Amino acid sequence: MQEILTYFETVPTFVRTLFLVSGVFFFLLLEMIVPLFQFDYHKGKHAAINITFTLITLVVNLFGATLIVATVSYTQFHQIGVLHMFEMSILLYVIIGLVLLDLIGAWLVHFLEHKVRWMWRFHIIHHTDINVDVTSGLRHHPGENILRLAFTCFAVLVVGPSFGLVMLYQTASAFFAHLTHANIQMPKKIDELLSYVFVTPYFHKIHHHYVQPNTDSNYGNIFSFWDHLFRTTSKEKDMTSLVYGLDTHFNEEDYSSIKSLLLIPFQTFREPFNKR
- Long-range contacts, stretch 191-196, CB < 8 angstroms, 24+ apart: 195/224, 196/224, 196/225, 196/228
Contact 235, 187 (CB under 8 A): no
In a domain, 272, yes or no: no
Confidence of residue 253 (pLDDT cuts 50, 70, 90): confident
pLDDT in tens, 219-250: 999 999 999 999 999 998 888 889 999 999 98
Nearest to 219, CA basis, from 74, 107, 100, 52: 107
In a domain, 246, yes or no: yes
Average pLDDT over residues 7-30: 85
Confidence of residue 276 (pLDDT cuts 50, 70, 90): very low
Q: What percent of the chain has pLDDT over 90?
A: 70
Task: Please name the residues in contact with 24: beta carbons below 8 A apart, sequence gap of 6 or more.
Answer: 134, 135, 178
Q: What pLDDT, on the 0 to 100 scale, is given for residue 60?
A: 81
Task: Please state, in angstroms and as integers, the Cα–Cα distance from residue 252 to each residue in 169, 181, 207, 258, 259, following that order.
Answer: 36, 21, 21, 11, 13
Across all residues in the chain, what is the average pLDDT? 92
Q: What pLDDT, on the 0 to 100 scale, is given for residue 23?
A: 87
Nearest to 162, CA basis, from 89, 71, 274, 258: 71
In a domain, 189, yes or no: yes
What is the gyration radius of the CA atoms in the chain, in angstroms?
18
Contact 204, 192 (CB under 8 A): no
Average pLDDT over residues 253-257: 88
In a domain, 115, yes or no: yes
Residue 189 has pLDDT above 80, yes or no: yes
In a domain, 225, yes or no: yes
Task: Please state, in angstroms and as integers, the Cα–Cα distance from residue 135 to each residue in 73, 119, 127, 224, following that order.
Answer: 33, 22, 13, 21
In a domain, 99, yes or no: yes
pLDDT in tens, 202-214: 999 999 999 888 9
In a domain, 275, yes or no: no
Residue 13 has pLDDT above 80, yes or no: no
In a domain, 276, yes or no: no
Distance of alpha carbon 152 from alpha carbon 144, whole angstroms: 12
AA letter at 52? T
Confidence of residue 273 (pLDDT cuts 50, 70, 90): low
pLDDT in tens, 19-76: 888 888 999 999 999 999 988 888 888 889 998 998 887 788 778 889 999 999 999 9
Nearest to 54, CA basis, from 170, 137, 171, 172: 137
Backbone angles phi, psi at 75, to 5 degrees: -65, -35
**Domain boundaries, position 222:** 2-12+20-266
Average pLDDT over residues 160-189: 95
Number of domains in the chain: 1
